[in-house]
Structure 1
Amino acid sequence: MITKLSNERFEKAKSYIKEHGRTLDQSRLDYYLHHGSKENVLNVLRTHQNLDGGFQDMGEGPRNFSSPIGTSVAFQLLTDLDVPVNDPMVQNGLKYIVETFDHDLGLWQPAFNWLHEEVNLVQSWGNPSAELVGYLNHYKEIVSNTFLDKLLNITARNMLLVKRPMDTFVLLCYMRLVKFAPDGLKELIIQRLQEDVPKVIETDPAKWSKWCTKPYWFAISSTSPVADIINQDVIRNLEYEIQNQTDEGFFPPHWNDTEENLWNWKSILTIDVLKALRNYNMIDQ
């Protein structure tokens, strides 16, 4: 029998978000778990957008200035909420994405400038570039066809050149691209995901308390392109999260970080786990 999050523990998680969570996660909690206002989520998200169109303080990326990776997280929400292309927040965000593309290197910087380091650009390229290509293709009505064709060609080329299995976060970005990729590229990415994801996830529960790639990251819902392949690992992983929910109500990060960063991630992960539990009917209500 599958373990479910009790109603009491569910209320504990919600209370944690309401009392200690980020404002953005408070609005996400209301929307995703209580059919709350989409507009309320968007109003909070607008406070994270800068005059240059990019987003800051999104969990990923810098807190005090725009970054492509922070903007990618914002577009996860914008596309999840089906925000149309004529929305000013979308248009300004797309403008930022287009303007921050490095044409010489054929990528977007992941956060801070890391090009002084020894980085394999093909291996690292997908994070966040693959994801951003997906958002540009989704809103392609206002994106140059020439530019978009260039990006799709770079994506296909790198999918063929990258060493396997791919890095966890690169795979996550390619997985987010799948939803918006044209058919031929979509089929290639799904094939790569189905081959690589089982190789990078940690399936030993004894290791889930330390830094590792958790199975549920790749299948927060059964619509994931790898859900069928890793379903048993995802369920076991979510049962682990239920068992390790803290007395305060949050689902804890499994890595070391600054106190401020961990506060952000306690909030973000709690929403993510609750969404996954709801999607797999693992909340006892």
Structure 2
Amino acid sequence: MTLITTPLQQAQDFMLTNGRLLERQLFSYLFGDGTRELVLQALRAYQNADGGFGNALEPDKRCPDSQPQDVEFALHVLDVLGSLDDPLVQRACDYLDSITTPEGGVPFALPSVNAYPHAPWWTSDENPPASLNPTAAIVGLLLKHRVRHPWIERAAQFCWQAIAAIDTTEFHTLMPVLQFLEHAPERERANHELRRVAARLSQPGVIELDPQASGYVQKPLNWAPTPDSFCRRLFTDETIATHLDALARRQQADGGWPISWDTLSPAVAYEWRGRVTIEALSTLRAYQYNI
């Protein structure tokens, strides 16, 4: 007799076989009987003595030293848990304050990354400038959960100035910007900038609408991973339904979802696939898609 397994059960097998401890615990918390504390225990292992996060928490760079992007990665995990009141957040904010540039934000990457294996896009200058990616995402997540720290106001001012000066449609810049604008308390100012972003993204050809498109492209569900996402208003119900079907069909025979970029090693690919599998299932569940 052939046992019939659901996509969620297949994904669980993938995670147990291939996922890092952090993603296994997060998967169990979201889709099983896991606990918040077990996820936090796994996440704490990535926090360094300086309060920042490193140790390849973001897998495409194998740097043990703290990096701004790893702080963002950690905050996204804490956001899922609703645990930005954990003491590790204040320590992370102290670290961010220590690496803030004269512009008021934190860099995309610090030069310590250069000494370790890393994807080419992580190579850093010796004196990198502040960047909206990840500063805006970090500030947005902290504002969302009403975290209080002196660094936040300073970094928010950098974000406002940088957002007003850009006219980009680049995904990895705009997603942090959207994270910030959705939670900034200055709503009139934020709504003005959100309208500017929406106008850019609504231009034909900016967002990949073909559900079968391959390669490193960003489709509607990348821009609107939940129905509450700001960018959900940019797409019709039919478009979202079509892309949900396509996302569900991208589950691989091993139970995990694929990634669309080259990694440093097979092990790194599996680390990312664990994260992407959780994101895919979370999006499907958020839209009440049967998994």
Cross-structure match for 2:67: 67
The structure-2 alpha-carbon separation of the partners of 1:52 and 1:185, relative to structure 1 and needing over 3 Å to count, comes to: farther
Match of 1:214 in 2: 219
CA distance in 1, matches of 2:137, 2:84: 18
Match of 1:102 in 2: 101
Give the aligned partner of residue 89 of structure 1: 88
Q: Which residue of 1 aligns with 2:25?
A: 27
Equivalent runs, 1:263-274 vs 2, <5 Å: 263-274=270-281
Q: Residues 62-102 of structure 1, C-alpha deviation per residue, up to 9 Å, x if partnerless? A: 332210111011011223322253x3211211111111111
Match of 2:156, as an amino acid?
Answer: L
CA contact (8 A) 1:60 1:73 kept: no
In structure 2, distance between residues paired with 1:95 and 1:109: 15
Partner Cα separation in structure 2 for residue 185 and residue 229 of structure 1? 20
Q: Is the 8 A contact 1:61 1:69 kept in 2?
A: no
- Superposed CA deviations along residues 162-215 of structure 1, whole A, max 9, x for unmatched, are 0233x11111111222343112343234323423344542112342x2111132
**Residues 16-52 of structure 1 deviation map (CA, whole Å, 9 limit, x = unaligned):** 0122111111111111223631111111111111111
Q: 1:262, CA displacement in angstroms?
A: 1.3
Matched residue pairs, number?
A: 269
Q: Which one of 225, 228, 233 corresponds to residue 223 of structure 1?
A: 228
Mapped to 1, the partners of 2:21 and 2:242 lie a distance apart of: 30
Quote how far apart the aligned CAs of 1:128 are.
0.6
CA–CA distance in structure 2, aligned partners of residues 156 and 188 of structure 1:
12
| Alpha-carbon spacing, 1:140–1:251, altered in 2? closer, same or farther (3 Å) | closer
Aligned pair partner of 2:188 in 160, 180, 184 = 184
**Percent of aligned pairs with the same amino acid:** 23
CA RMSD after TM alignment: 2.6
Task: Say if 2:132 and 2:177, in contact at 8 Å, map to a contact too.
Answer: yes
1:164 alignment partner in structure 2:
168
Residues in 2 aligned to 1:9 and 1:94: alpha-carbon distance in whole angstroms = 38
Q: Is the 8 A contact 2:59 2:271 kept in 1?
A: no
After superposition, the Cα gap between the structure-2 partners of 1:198 and 1:261, relative to the gap in structure 1 and judged at 3 Å, is farther
The answer for unaligned runs of 5 or more in structure 2 is 112-122
Measure, in 2, the Cα distance between the counterparts of 1:89 and 1:138. Answer: 17
Aligned AA for 1:227?
R
TM-score by length of 1: 0.83
1:3 is aligned to none
Who is 2:116 aligned against?
none
Deviation at 1:141, TM superposition (A): 6.0
Q: TM-score, normalised by structure 2?
A: 0.82
Name which structure has the greater RCO, CA cutoff 8 Å, separation 6+: 1
1-structure distance, mates of 2:227, 2:147: 30
Superposed counterparts of 1:3-14, under 5 Å: 8-14=6-12
SS at 2:156 equivalent: helix
Q: Aligned-pair distance for 1:257? A: 2.1
Correspondence for 1:80:
80
- Contact kept? 1:251, 1:266, Cα under 8 Å: yes
Do the aligned residues in 1 keep the contact of 2:105 with 2:159 (CA within 8 Å)? Answer: no
Report the alpha carbon displacement of residue 60 of structure 1 after superposing the two structures with TM: 5.5
The reply on whether 1:196 has 2:200 as its aligned counterpart is: yes
Q: 1:197 to 1:248 in 2, by over 3 A?
A: same
| Correspondent of 2:135 among 123, 129, 135 | 129
Secondary structure class of the residue paired with 1:205: coil
CA separation in 2, counterparts of 1:62 and 1:178?
28
**Inter-CA distance 150–53: structure 2 relative to 1 (3 Å threshold):** closer
